[in-house]
Structure 1
């Protein structure tokens, strides 16, 4: 049975938006899978772990420089909009966070600053690029590359499951993205289909660093994430390191080639109990290489998990499941993606969920009685990427 203390702690964390329930994609009476449903946006309070002086990088852009076109996504503290730069006509994704809501929810303000700092540090072909950051009296704005191909979640929902060759490709690109983050000491902690976007060509773009953290001495112990994708050591409240991301990769890979994560229930206790104690049952049609990789990524002992020190990502890259991958060509984007998004009009956001794209554009924030106090949490937030020209 699940440790009751862990479940109680998760319940308290859920109230502060640190941990979310698994999606209700299972029938509570029969445990039969229902149509795939989106995980809600999850948030986390955490420490600032990167320190910079932004005084030399004043914002050269403002909200007035961008025309809003539609909503791409929505979270607990704001929305993501498709926007067009008024001068260059370039399309971007604009993440808007409500300052007052962040401050009211404790250390969420620190989280937003941390996310912005991490995005400045990271430069990788399979990770979203931060182009600009600025603020208004009521909101924070991060201008990101627009991944016009939409969420991997949406493509996976449409296909039901991927062929193994398709899963090999996207798992391999994610291995390279995670390996880069880990080289910077960053634990990603929120790998799931909703956070994997596709660009125009179909390459993966890892996004949403709201739960990421630079782990001091390589270790951290915050309980956070999406329940279905959380490693056992996180759920047990133990110290953990980058190997939790390799567990999540295993869950995502299983999801891609079978159509659902291995530990799914509409009941949190059942989900956690399965993660902590149940063995994975592999469908008969999985290849021996797929089963072997999954069994090694999903070892409950993190020290025995594939990707653990000292070999780390190198051990994963050398696995036979990836035998068809030329890692240098993949990193150089010379390998043709198996999914090429259909794009008739980039401004239509046709590869994003119409539940969002058909929303109104209102992005107003509730007024604050103490703007000076609220804004004191967001000093030096502005940023301009020197590689982006406007």
Structure 2
């Protein structure tokens, strides 16, 4: 069973993200109805990913620690999120405060944002651990509100330079994005040793755990969660963000059972609409990513197709050892079980086209083509976005502080002691990391 750290923390000792900087081949021109010819221009890149160390059914990769972990269960105008490119490299030393002295003006009256730090939160239990940090369930002492606090070790991030950049990107994306089906960032601050992101606590746990318990979802259940993800992905794409890591472990459920998409550590803000980094979880990666080609938001629609297949059948369509999984993604046709309805088969076949230009969700119709597919004909999109549709799963929560829907191997762990040092931003790599959501202004 996958750990919660892969969903909120997004950093695992068993599953590591791919962030390879290999030179990539350019995508051949593809006709709308033509399957792509598999290029041979990337033998070293593919060969590196294909190193076989045993049978796996769900593997996420990192260029430094390439450890797999098994799955246990079978034309709209864009607003581009602008990122500060000097965010990591610049130097700043703050006084003994945890938040930049921000002010907001409302009705000609200045309201100062209250400083917040580690001492404002009480850790209740561990929700997950990973290679670069951990996640705690915490309670804000003043408001008594529960949050998930993501804590990352600065030293580890600086050594793994690209990880520092990924955290910077994640932090800024979360500040910009506001959507009912995307995790909310409420606070961000730092201590001499750690970075802290205080996130929405999705008390319902991972969709993966519920899927494992059910074995597979009925078509109405899968349709509901797929539709909420369509709205979340559409919002991200409208901001120029390519998500790149859609899978059940990154889909949480709130107290009512609605989707909360989390873990933006692999997301990319693409100013020109294209990127070429090889990253993600192999079973959910689009062919163009594996081939090292330039790609855009259309890779997320491929991942949605894989996730929908997973929900409807109980496992991804391509799994096994690394090399076999990659070869299957690049060359094999998808097998559609007989018990799937014709609408489900048609949607899956169109989302899982290897030619990205012919894939459902590609330009020019983009997400409109996905929404209008007859598989979603029973979805009332406005009601869904306004959370007026009752979710098919209502998580059982008797005590939110007990984290009942998360893995006991973490929640039963003893919380380690922490330093009482005076917190200062003394490291040049993480300037302006601090953040307080506007809704929390006092």
Structure 2-normalised TM-score? 0.78
Higher share of residues assigned helix: 1
For 1:130 and 1:189, the matched residues in 2 are separated by 19
For 1:252 and 1:55, the matched residues in 2 are separated by 43
Deviation at 1:294, TM superposition (A): 0.4
1:99 aligns with 2:154: yes
1:386 aligns with 2:441: no
Secondary structure of the residue aligned to 2:427 is: helix
CA contact (8 A) 1:82 1:93 kept: yes
CA contact (8 A) 2:276 2:294 kept: yes
For 1:278 and 1:358, the matched residues in 2 are separated by 43
Secondary structure of the residue aligned to 1:182 is: helix
CA contact (8 A) 2:136 2:149 kept: yes
Partner of 1:161: 216
Partner of 2:359: 305
How far does the alpha carbon of each residue in 1:216-239 deviate from its partner, in whole angstroms, 9 at most, with x for none? 210000000111110000000000
Partner of 1:146: 201
1:14 aligns with 2:62: yes
Give the direction of change, closer, same or farther, for the CA distance of 1:65–1:106 in structure 2 (3 Å limit): same
Secondary structure of the residue aligned to 1:218 is: coil
Deviation at 1:355, TM superposition (A): 1.9
Deviation at 1:49, TM superposition (A): 6.1
How far does the alpha carbon of each residue in 1:229-276 deviate from its partner, in whole angstroms, 9 at most, with x for none? 1000000000000000000000000000100000010x1111100000
For 1:189 and 1:151, the matched residues in 2 are separated by 18
CA contact (8 A) 1:59 1:134 kept: no
How far does the alpha carbon of each residue in 1:168-214 deviate from its partner, in whole angstroms, 9 at most, with x for none? 00000000000000000000001011100000000000000000010
Aligned length: 363
How far does the alpha carbon of each residue in 1:141-182 deviate from its partner, in whole angstroms, 9 at most, with x for none? 000111100000110111111111000000000000000000
Secondary structure of the residue aligned to 1:217 is: coil
How far does the alpha carbon of each residue in 1:91-122 deviate from its partner, in whole angstroms, 9 at most, with x for none? 00000000000001122112111110000010
For 2:114 and 2:48, the matched residues in 1 are separated by 41
1:230 aligns with 2:285: yes
How far does the alpha carbon of each residue in 1:296-318 deviate from its partner, in whole angstroms, 9 at most, with x for none? 00000000000000100000000
Partner of 1:51: 84
Partner of 1:181: 236
1:125 aligns with 2:171: no
Partner of 1:375: 427
CA contact (8 A) 1:20 1:227 kept: no
Gaps of 5+ in 1: 26-34, 38-47, 366-370
Partner of 1:290: 344
Partner of 2:322: 268
Partner of 2:372: 318
CA contact (8 A) 1:103 1:109 kept: yes
1:24 aligns with 2:66: no
Deviation at 1:9, TM superposition (A): 4.0
1:193-212 alignment, distance < 5 Å: 193-212=248-267
For 1:128 and 1:11, the matched residues in 2 are separated by 33
For 1:187 and 1:359, the matched residues in 2 are separated by 35
CA contact (8 A) 1:73 1:356 kept: yes
Secondary structure of the residue aligned to 1:150 is: coil
Gaps of 5+ in 2: 1-37, 52-60, 75-80, 88-99, 104-112
CA contact (8 A) 1:170 1:204 kept: yes
Structure 1-normalised TM-score? 0.88
Looking at CA atoms only, which structure, 1 or 2, has the larger radius of gyration? Answer: 2
Deviation at 1:6, TM superposition (A): 3.0
